[in-house]
Amino acid sequence: MASTYTDLGIELMATGENAGTWGTKTNANLNLIEQLTGGFATLSIAGGAGTQALDIDDGALTGTAQQRIIEFTGSITGNRIITIPNDVETFYILKNSTSGAYTVEFKYVSGSGSSATFSATDKGIKTVYASANDGTNPDIVDVMANSSEIVLANNNPIKFNDADNSAFVGIDAPATVSGSYTLTLPAAVGSASQALVTTDGAGTLGFTSTSSFGITTGKAIAMAIVFG
């Protein structure tokens, strides 16, 4: 009986096979396992709109889909789609270092399962897992996009970078909070001249017209003149 291979390319040797070469083949397998668990590769996906497949190379270290961390590089001039075989079941850390304002989608080679997509301006990092949960329509899951809760420790802020990542707007908690609470945003957008205010004692926010605050534009100007 000949060797068979796992979905990620590790060789499964049959009993009695490969006499005298077990050491070599075992070492090859161990090197591949090391790459699968912590390997890093850069991959140019330069070009126009189109699809580029990541491969699994049985018993070898050359398959790009057999890396843990993959950095996409190159100048893209159209939306790019990066695929992996439908039977792959693992997780990846993906970094989008391409230039060009186009999307990069990571998905299975076929089927209508979910995928993970870097927007045209997203030059960041995604952690995804390939579930291989369906032979026809398997799903790629974007871990952060589907997290049930995110907690930032040590009084660290949430930061929203601008388009070129040169500056950010941050939201931070006070250094000391007397009691935990959650602010719940409104279900719909407000209109002009409205402000966010608490609508109850439980942290629910809603949009309220600023005119209801009792200070009209004329009064505000008069107060500014009087009080400076």
- pLDDT, one tens digit per residue, over 140-163 is 999 998 888 888 888 899 999 888
CB 81 within 8 A of CB 58: no
The SS3 assignment for 204 reads strand
Give residues with Cβ within 8 angstroms of 180, minimum separation 6. none
**What's residue 72's pLDDT?**
98
**What's residue 152's pLDDT?**
85
Global pTM? 0.77
DSSP lists the bridge partners of residue 118 as 104
Mean pLDDT of 190-217: 85
**What's residue 36's pLDDT?**
97
**What's residue 88's pLDDT?**
97
Task: Report how far apart, in Å, the C-alpha atoms of 61 and of each of 25, 29, 107, 148, 222 are.
Answer: 12, 9, 22, 36, 75
Rounded to whole angstroms, the Cα distance separating 185 from 206 reads 7
**What's residue 204's pLDDT?**
94
**What's residue 19's pLDDT?**
83
pLDDT band at 124 (very low <50, low <70, confident <90, very high): very high
Extract the tokens encoding 178.
């007397």
Highest mean pLDDT among 114-118, 197-201, 217-221: 114-118
What φ, ψ does residue 218 adopt, rounded to 5°? -65, -45
Give residues with Cβ within 8 angstroms of 118, minimum separation 6. 94, 96, 103, 104, 105, 124, 126
DSSP lists the bridge partners of residue 53 as 83
**What's residue 210's pLDDT?**
81
pLDDT band at 213 (very low <50, low <70, confident <90, very high): confident
6-65 confidence digits (pLDDT tens): 999 999 998 888 788 889 999 999 999 999 999 999 999 999 999 999 999 999 999 999
65-106 confidence digits (pLDDT tens): 999 999 999 999 999 999 999 999 999 999 999 999 999 999
**What's residue 219's pLDDT?**
63
